[in-house]
Amino acid sequence: MRVGAERRLGNDELRELALSVGFHDVRVTRVRTTPRGEALDRWLARGDHADLHWLARGRDVRLDPRVRHAWARTAVVVAVHHHHRVPDDPGGRTGRVARYAWGRDYHNLLGKRLRKLKARLGELGVRSWGGVDTAPIVERSWAEAAGLGAVGKNTTLLVPGRGSFLLLGVLFLDADLEPDPASTRDPCRTCVRCLRACPTDALPEPHRLRTDACISYWTIEARGLPPRALRSNFGRWFFGCDVCQEVCPHAHDPDDPDEDDLLPRHAWVDLDDVVASSDDDLLRRFEGTPLRRPGAAGLKRNALLVLANLGDPGAVPVIRRHALAHPEPVVRAAGVWALRSLGERIALPTETDPLVRGELDAEDAVRAR
C-alpha cells in the first residue's frame, strides 16, 4: 500500500516513530535542490576539501537527492545530541579527544536507528533512502531548511541554547508531509569567537573551512604528517578538535543527553600507552569507536605530535624504543619530530624513506642556521 492512496503518514506519527527508535529531534522539509548547494560548489572549487575526493565524486547527488531517487518528496532530519561535560584533566602525558568520539561510533549508532525507522516506515508503505555523513547528503543544509538550527560561521549547525554538539541523519521519503518552518535567524550575528579561537586558522572567514588547516582533518582523515608550521598549534588534541564549538555562546552550558552510548569513555588518552602498544592491541582497544578511523599508524602519529607539544622529556624513552622502529614511515617521521622537539639529538643513517629523511634533513637545516 502506498502512502497517499488509502493512508497518509502524518507529522505527529513520524515524530513518534523517530523518537521511539532513539532520536532526540526530528524535523521535516520538502525535497528540492539542496539548500545552500552553491556553497558546496564554491568550497570544492577552491579546493578547501583537501584530498577528501569522495566529496567531489558525490557532488551531483549531494546537490539534489532526486538524482539518485526521483521519487523523493520529503526530507526528514533526525538528530542525537552528544554533549557531555569534559572529565577532569588527568594531567601527565595525556591527549584530548573530541566529544563526538568519546563513546560508540556514531555511524553505527545512528545507522542502526535509521534502519529501524526505515523499517517502520516501510511497514506503512513509505519508501525511504538516506544516511549519515558517509552518504552523499549535505545534512547541515537540510537541517537548517527543516528548522532544526542554522549554519554558523564555524560551518557547524548551531541549535540555540545547545550549540553544535549533535549528530545528524537524513531520510528522504516518497510521502508528502507538512514542512517545518526553516531557520531564518542568524545565530552568530556579529560574533567571531570561533574564527579567532581556531588554533590553526582553519576558519579564515565566516562560513569557510579550510580542511587542509583543520586539526580534525589531520588527526582523523589524513594519512601523512601535517605541515610543520601547524603541528605545535595542535596542543593536546589527539583526535579531532572541539575549540570552535566550545567557544560558541550557544554552547555555554547545554544539558547532557540521556544517551549512554555516547558517555565519555575515551575523553582523555594515555599517549605513552598509545605509542608503546602493538598496532593490533591498539585497534582492539578502540573497537566500535570512531578512534579506529586513522588506523594504528595515525593514532601513533597523533600521540607523538602531542607528546612533542607537551614538552615532557619523560616521553623520550618510549618514543625512542617504539616509534623509531615502527614499520610505518609516518610513525617514524613523527617520532623524529617529537624527539627533536624535546631537544634530543638523533641520527638514523640507514633510514631511506623520503618522509623520514625529510624530517631529519629539515631539523638538521634548522639547527645549522
Same-domain status, 168 and 215? no
Domain boundary among 157, 173, 189: 173
12 is catalytic: no
| Candidate list 133, 256, 312, 353, residue with the active-site label | 133
Q: Which residues pair with 151 in a beta bridge?
A: 157
Considering the domain boundaries, does residue 226 fall inside one?
yes
CA-to-CA distance for 279 and 354, rounded, in angstroms? 23
Same-domain status, 215 and 156? no
Same-domain status, 145 and 223? no
Residues 6+ apart with CB under 8 A from 250: 152, 158, 159, 160, 161, 162, 163, 164, 187
CA-to-CA distance for 182 and 363, rounded, in angstroms? 53
Q: What type of residue is 207?
A: H
**Are 185 and 14 in contact, with CB atoms under 8 Å apart?**
no
Same-domain status, 214 and 355? yes
- Domains of the chain: total: 2
**Are 69 and 170 in contact, with CB atoms under 8 Å apart?**
no
CATH number of residue 110's parent domain: 3.40.109
> Which SS3 state, helix, strand or coil, does residue 169 take?
strand
Long-range contacts of 292-296 (CB under 8 A, 24+ apart): 292/105, 293/220, 293/221, 294/219, 294/220, 294/221, 294/223, 294/239
Tens digit of pLDDT per residue, the chain (369 long)?
Answer: 454 434 579 999 999 999 999 999 999 999 999 998 999 999 999 999 999 999 999 999 999 999 999 999 999 999 999 888 899 999 999 999 999 999 999 999 999 999 999 999 999 999 999 999 999 999 999 999 999 999 999 999 999 878 899 999 999 999 999 999 998 888 999 999 999 999 999 999 999 999 999 999 999 999 999 999 999 999 999 999 999 999 999 987 777 777 788 888 999 999 999 999 999 999 999 999 999 999 999 999 999 999 999 999 999 999 999 999 999 999 999 999 999 999 999 989 999 999 999 999 986 655 655
**Are 194 and 244 in contact, with CB atoms under 8 Å apart?**
yes
CA-to-CA distance for 14 and 28, rounded, in angstroms? 9
Same-domain status, 313 and 358? yes
**Are 332 and 225 in contact, with CB atoms under 8 Å apart?**
no
Cell (9 digits) for 132: 549519515
Number of Cβ atoms within 10 Å of the Cβ of 354:
11
Would the pTM of this model clear 0.85, i.e. be above it? yes
Which domain covers residue 20, as residue numbers? 11-85+99-173
